[in-house]
Structure formats: C-alpha cells, structure tokens
Amino acid sequence: MRFVPFLPANVPENRPGVPLFLCLVPCGFPSPADGYVEDEIDLHRVLIPNPESTIVMEAAGDSMVEANLVAGDRLIVDCSLDPVPGRIVIAAVDGEFTVKRLIKRRGRYILKPENSAYPERDITGDENVEIRGVVTYIIHKA
Amino acid sequence: MSRHAKTQPALWGLLDCNNFYASCEKAFRPDLIGKPIVVLSNNDGCIVARSAEAKALGIKMGEPAFKAADILRRHRVEVFSSNYELYGDLSRRVMRNLDKLADIEQYSIDECFIRMGSAMAVQAEAAAKEFKRVIQKNVWIPVSVGVGSTRTLAKVANHLAKKSGQGVLVLRPGSAELEDALERTSVEDVWGIGRRFAKRLLRYGVTTARHLRDMDPDLALRVLTVVGQRTVLELRGEQCITLDDPGVVRKTLVSSRSFGSKISRKSDLAESLAMHASIAAEKLRREGLLASVIHVFCSTSLFGDEPGRSIGTRVSLPVPANDTLTLVSASRAALDSCFRPGPYIKAGVMVVELAEKCRRQLTLLEACAPPEGGQRQALMEAFDVINAKYGRDTIRTAAQGARGAPWHMKRSKKSPNYTTDWEELAKAG
C-alpha cells in the first residue's frame, strides 16, 4: 500500500506546514492504533533554504520548453549556489536576463537552450556574460 | 547582534554598498550596466543617488531634478523614482548574508560595521575580499570594505577603498599605508567632522586626517566638542566610539516634502501637516523617543524669481509624547495660529527636545493623567502593527485625508518590486 500524506482541507493560517501521518494509510481510514503526527512540511523551507540569497523570476519565451519550463512559470533562483555544468542557470547576456542550461563541452562553457529552434551560445571567457544564479525549482501552475 | 558590553575587537571593518539606491536599480536591469542613472527623492524632487557614470557627468547629489533636466536629457540618463520597498529588501539581504559570515552591527540602510576577532584580523584582506565577493554574488550589489583598528579608521579606509576603485583596503596600526591614508584624507571626510568643523579646523592649519590625528586632544575638545575629541583619539587607534553613545541619539526629527503642485487651501495644508506629524510620531515610537516641542512650517517657492517666504510656529506639548493623535492635533493647532495665504510648495514638521522614553521621569501632569494614557499606547501599538503588515498609512487619522489628495507624492518612474511582489518579478527569456 502506498504511503499517502493526509491533507486537511484548510491549513490554518499560522501553520505553514502540512501534517504528515507516519503510518501507512489505506484508502479510507487511518489506523487508530497508529495515528501519530510526526513532522510537518514547511514548503518555504524546502524550496528556499537560503532566503537571503534567493529570488523568484518569471520565465518568458519558449527557449526551454523541452525542460518543462514555459512562459509564465516562476523560477526559484538561488544565487549562493555555484553554477555547475548540467544545471539550469540565470545569466545576464547582452543586457537581458536569460534562462538556459549550462553545459561544458570539450572544455568550453555553453548556454544551451532546451528547444531546437534556438542557438547555443559559447560563453567561455566572455566578459559580457554574468551568471547570476542557479534555478532550483520551476513552479508551474497546473 | 547584541549591543551589550563587548570586548573591543582586534580590528573594525566598515562595509558599505556603492551608490546603494542606484546599484539596487541596476541589479535588475542588466541593460543599464555601464550606463549613467539617477534616483530621485520622494515626489521626484531631488537627485538622491547617482551611478558612478552619472557622477562622472558632473551631476550633483541633492540637485533638484528639474535643474538637472538638461544634462539628464543630453546624456540620456535613466531616471528612477525611489523604490523603498526594493531598497529595504536588498538591504536586508546584504545584512543577513553578512551576518552569516561575521559579527556585524548595522549602521544604516547600506552600511555596517564588522567586528574582527584576532583570527579574522590576521587575514583581514582575505576576509574583506570574501565579504565583497559574497555580497556581489548573492545579492548582486557592489560594496566597498575598509578595515582599521577603530571605527573611524575603518571609515577612512572604506572611503579610500571606494575612491581607488579597488573596493577593499586594510590599514593596520603603525603601517606606512595608514600614514599615507591619513595624509590623503581631507579632514572634512573624517567621520563626524563635516564641513562646519572643517572650516574651524582650517584656522588651526588642520586640513588632513593626519593633522587631526596629531592635534592636541584638549585643543580638539575646545574646537570640536567631546565628539570631535573622540574622533582624534580614534584616529590614533584608541577605540572610544560606541553606537550607544548619548552623542549619537538624535536631537531632532523632521518629516517634510515638497508638493506635487502648489497648495493654497488651508485644509490641504492641514492634511499634509497631519501626515508629516503622523510620520514623525511613528519614527519617534520606533526609536523609543518622546518629543516635547513640535515645529510646523510651510514655504513658498524655493527656486524661481521671488524670494522664499515661509510660515511656521512651534507648539510645546504639555506632556512629552510620541502618539500620532497628539502630534496631529498639535500640528493642526499650530497651523491655525500661523496660517497666512500661500500658495505653498513645501510643508513639514520638526520635533525637538527629544528624550528617551525609558529614561524619562514622569512630570506631575502625567502622574495625574487620566487612565486613557494606557489605552492610547495600545492604540498606537495597534496602528504600528497594522501599518507594518499592510503598508504605511493603511490606518491613519481622518485629518490625514484620503489618498489622491493634490499633495500626494509623484513616483512616476518607480521600478517594479522585483523581490517583494509576485506580480512584478524580473523576467528571464
């Protein structure tokens, strides 16, 4: 039986967390013998562990659609993280903010879109490019 | 961050943000890198911040915007209205990032002192560079860091670090760099001196920080008062300034602004003064102070063909106060007693004879005060909590008038609240 977290219909305003039942909950009823609230999920703490270095940005355009990142999505950007190849980053390029995946190929650093219609950009040693932060979560409204 | 008695640190650092408001605006506008920008005060009146490029064009701090209009247009200087929400948020980020790295004491919206223990002091240059690197990376704000054996010397170092463009400067006691730095710093730029004292010091041949350091402390006491004497001692490396000094508690508090358009009606003036009285009251409460006297003033055109004229008067409060209702009604009474037809372009309120709430002795009047005193305080606390949560002026006295009154601030070129408003986020394509 899969573990199902219990979601109350209304989370009281002052409690950011969502109570989690420790036990397995078969569809229907929690076991009276096991009912025990163990911990809470604080979404803010999970998604933004470094609030003093994190900003939220809004995605524009469709250059990253193949990474499930579309216009209107909110991006959680942690500027304290180091831009490591493989991660999606925010960069300031040609006077604009852009969101792309940073890759390293044959010793060159490249900003790679996730949409075949867009070109890559080699940024190795380019002083006009500033990597500003790493995208840690993409918030997409269902 | 405790202010209780602490042992003196081995070295002091002073970190401050370069052209803070301008840097905040540029942080979210990569298209403005390398470009001149200015930020205007409340009501788009005066220039309160300039980027380095704007400074280089000769644009002066505090200059009324309309006077600089020509140069702004000619060089396509981008102009911003003050965005206090943004600056406040970025300031918090700077301070919180630093707080994780060092023992800091915030001094203003964009400056803080750093207490360096002996371990950090040994590597002061590396530490200072690291602070600068971290703030630039995590908050996108450029800063300068100066280090010295006292706060005053840290400020000297900071000033030179900024001027040289290096961004970091450490002046160790007894070093040649320290002597050189004091020689190169004009006395007017020393913390706590300023233009008025600098003029006095000129008579004694004291023009550089080095001269000031070498000045006889008793002479310094006579020419500059005890605050100036402490500055001399600090320049010598003797730590004696603490931020809890009575010399640092404010003596006056002003709230004033120029209007969007000239005001003639007494009722409009009264509303404006009520607003300023309310702002002053809130600031007093925040600083734990009470005022005994409130001045109100209104002036006619400050620039232009006719000489300026003003009306104003002072009102003594029977009991020192910091509550909004008392100050607002005092401001109304003051205006009633001195009003003459205008039109006026500026009004404001100044409160003086300030005392710390906790240190005060009750006057006889208060000892006999009606019980409403406690209720009034509770009301004020509620005011402050609501206004802090929902924004200034959510709750205000009826005297302050509805929004959109003719004298309300123009903030036509305010940037989006990139970091505090879900609907105003910066975009990445």
On the question of pLDDT at B194 being above 50, the answer is yes
Question: Which of the residues A65, A79, A82, A115 would you substitute to probe the B interface, choosing the one with the greatest number of B C-beta atoms within 10 Å?
Answer: A79
What is the amino acid identity at position B75? H
Count of C-beta atoms within a 10 Å radius of residue B1: 9
- When pLDDT is cut at 50, 70 and 90, the band that residue B249 belongs to is low
What are the b/e assignments for B407-420, b being 16+ CB within 10 Å? bbbeeeebbbbbbe
Greatest alpha-carbon pair distance for chain A in Å reads 64
**Crossing angle of helices B20-27/B84-99, nearest 10°?**
90
On the question of pLDDT at A19 being above 90, the answer is no
- When pLDDT is cut at 50, 70 and 90, the band that residue A21 belongs to is very low
Question: Is B31 in Cβ contact with A55 (below 8 Å)?
Answer: no
Would an 8 Å CB–CB cutoff place A76 in contact with chain B?
A: no
All residues of chain A having their beta carbon less than 8 Å from the beta carbon of residue B32 are 95
B46-86 pLDDT tens trace: 888 999 999 999 998 878 888 888 999 999 999 999 898 89
Question: Is A79 in Cβ contact with B30 (below 8 Å)?
Answer: no
pTM more than 0.95: no
Q: Is the dihedral of CA B31, B34, B35, B41 positive or negative?
A: positive
Q: What is the rounded CA–CA span in Å between residue A55 and residue B419?
A: 6
Share of chain B above pLDDT 90, in %: 44
Are A132 and A79 in contact by the 8 Å Cβ rule? The answer is yes
- Helix/strand/coil for B231: helix
C-alpha to C-alpha distances, B369 to B89, B319, B324, nearest whole angstrom: 41, 10, 18
Average pLDDT over residues B318-346: 87
Start-to-end CA distance of chain A, whole Å, equals 27
On the question of pLDDT at B324 being above 50, the answer is yes
A82-116 pLDDT tens trace: 999 999 999 999 999 999 999 999 999 999 999 99
What residues of A are annotated to the active site? 63, 100
pLDDT at B107: 80
A39-82 pLDDT tens trace: 788 899 999 999 999 999 999 999 999 999 999 999 999 999 99
Q: What is the rounded CA–CA span in Å between residue B260 and residue B45?
A: 9
B234-245 pLDDT tens trace: 999 987 766 555
ipTM of the complex model: 0.76
- Helix/strand/coil for A83: coil
Strands A37-41 and A18-21: antiparallel
pLDDT at B85: 87
Q: What is the mean pLDDT of chain B?
A: 84
Average pLDDT over residues B207-232: 88
Length of chain B: 429
B71-129 pLDDT tens trace: 999 999 999 998 988 998 999 999 999 999 999 988 888 899 999 999 999 999 999 99
Question: Is A63 in Cβ contact with B429 (below 8 Å)?
Answer: yes
On the question of pLDDT at B417 being above 70, the answer is yes
The strand pairing partners of B40, in sequence order, are B47, B81
Would an 8 Å CB–CB cutoff place B34 in contact with chain A?
A: no
